[in-house]
Every structure is written in structure tokens, then in C-alpha cells.
Amino acid sequence: MKERLAELVSESCDGQLTPAEVLAASVPLSYLGVTSLAQMRLIDAVEREYEVEIDLGGDVSFLDSVGGLADWLAAR
């Protein structure tokens, strides 16, 4: 799942990061240059692909990393 999420992150930021860079990151995605627009694209892609709804009014700190997002999805 993490590999696919890394691909979605890469696609969401128009390839400015490779999936390998995303997977290797030890800092929040925003530190890698993932903009708020890219984050919104990522949210849309995750919601479509995994048929979930991400509540932007709640705690969205899990969006800071592929691992956090994978854990959030696994709990669904």
C-alpha cells in the first residue's frame, strides 16, 4: 500500500518527487515541497482510489507521511 500511496504523492505533485524519494523521506511531506494544492490533489486521489472520505475538519496529521496515511487507511 505504501508504494501505491507514494505513487499518488508523486502524481499529485506533478512528478517533482519520485515515489522512491517519498518512501525514503524521514520528514513531513510538506518539507519535501508538497504544496497545499498537491495535498488537495492527493486527498482527492486517495478518496477515489480507496473509497474513503477524509474529514478536513478533523485531525489530518496522518497526511504528513505515507506511513501515517497507510496506517489511517488500514484502520478504516
Q: Whole-model pTM?
A: 0.93
Place of cell 477524509: 54
Question: Cα(20)–Cα(57) distance, rounded to whole angstroms?
Answer: 30
Question: Cα(2)–Cα(13) distance, rounded to whole angstroms?
Answer: 17
Number of alpha helices (DSSP H) and beta strands (DSSP E) in the chain:
4, 0
- List of domains in the chain: 2-74 (1.10.1200.10)
Taking only the tens place, the pLDDT of each residue in 16-35 is: 999 999 999 999 999 999 99
Q: What is the model's pLDDT at position 3?
A: 97
Question: Cα(61)–Cα(30) distance, rounded to whole angstroms?
Answer: 11
Average of per-residue pLDDT across 52-73: 94
Cell numbers standing for residue 44: 482527492
